[in-house]
Amino acid sequence: MILPKIFIILLFSFNLFFAQNISIVPTLKKIEHGNVAEAKKDLLNLKKKYPNNPKVIFLEAVLTEDGAKAQELYNLITTNFPKSKYADAALFRSFSYYYALGLYKRASEIKTLLTSRFPNSPYLKNTDRVFPLTDEVVMVSSSPYKPKPTTNIRFTIQAGAFGDFKNAEKLKNKLLQAGYYSTIKPKNVNGKTLHIVTVGQFTDHDEASTFLNIFKNKYNFSGRVVPVE
């Protein structure tokens, strides 16, 4: 049976419509709740079906641990898909990446781009930062990190958990000397006291995740984003 040409066109348009309207929100929620392995499985399936969809590219960038490679994907979205639903989120993640690296000039440029392209983006409120005059990398700063002048801190990164307080203090001091804000908090686990070392202060989960990816690549350690208690 030969299908009418008009039917083939309609079928193609129908499939294209649903391909463009796929949702990655359930997978992003899996990532937020720490189900990264499941999220990666979702990504593999989506890439097979929609390899060039900007939403899928964004999801791949979020799951990419190499910060530089993630930036290539975010840049692909903002350059080739400037009207994508996640274009402003991609710009914000790029902003957070360069700001965390201490490349303030580049971060400022991206903030300007985000403001001009998406003046109503909800991410703009999280770009209100102080920009030093030089591109000094914060990671090699010898002066202690100063806490952010804001009360809207919702997330931090758990860098380690130690039974021995001296080991926790050693890691905390190392982080402070590297230029990061760090704290130690006791936590009772099954009757045993653990000393939890945290690093960084973040207003949203995306910002903390971006920093965590950079930190993993730079210091080769495993940490996780946790809410501030």
| Residue 101, token pair as written in the block | 């690296």
Inter-residue contact 161 to 226 (CB < 8 Å): no
**Which tokens is 178 given?**
């590297």
pTM listed for this prediction: 0.56
Q: What local confidence, expressed as pLDDT, does residue 209 receive?
A: 85
**pLDDT digit string, tens, across residues 86-134:** 999 999 988 887 776 666 778 888 999 999 999 999 988 888 765 544 3
The structure tokens listed for 13 are: 């348009």
Q: Say yes or no to pLDDT of 228 above 80.
A: yes
Q: What is the pLDDT of residue 102?
A: 60
The percent of the chain in helix, strand and coil, each rounded to the nearest 5, is 55, 15, 30
Say whether pLDDT at 55 is over 90: yes
Query: Which long-range contacts does 119-128 make (Cβ < 8 Å, 24+ apart)?
Result: 121/88, 121/92, 123/88, 123/89, 123/91, 123/92, 126/92, 126/203, 126/204, 126/207, 127/92, 127/95
Kindly list the structural domains of the chain, giving each domain's residue range(s) and its CATH number in brackets, ordered by start.
25-127 (1.25.40.10), 141-227 (3.30.70.1070)
Length, in residues, of the chain? 229
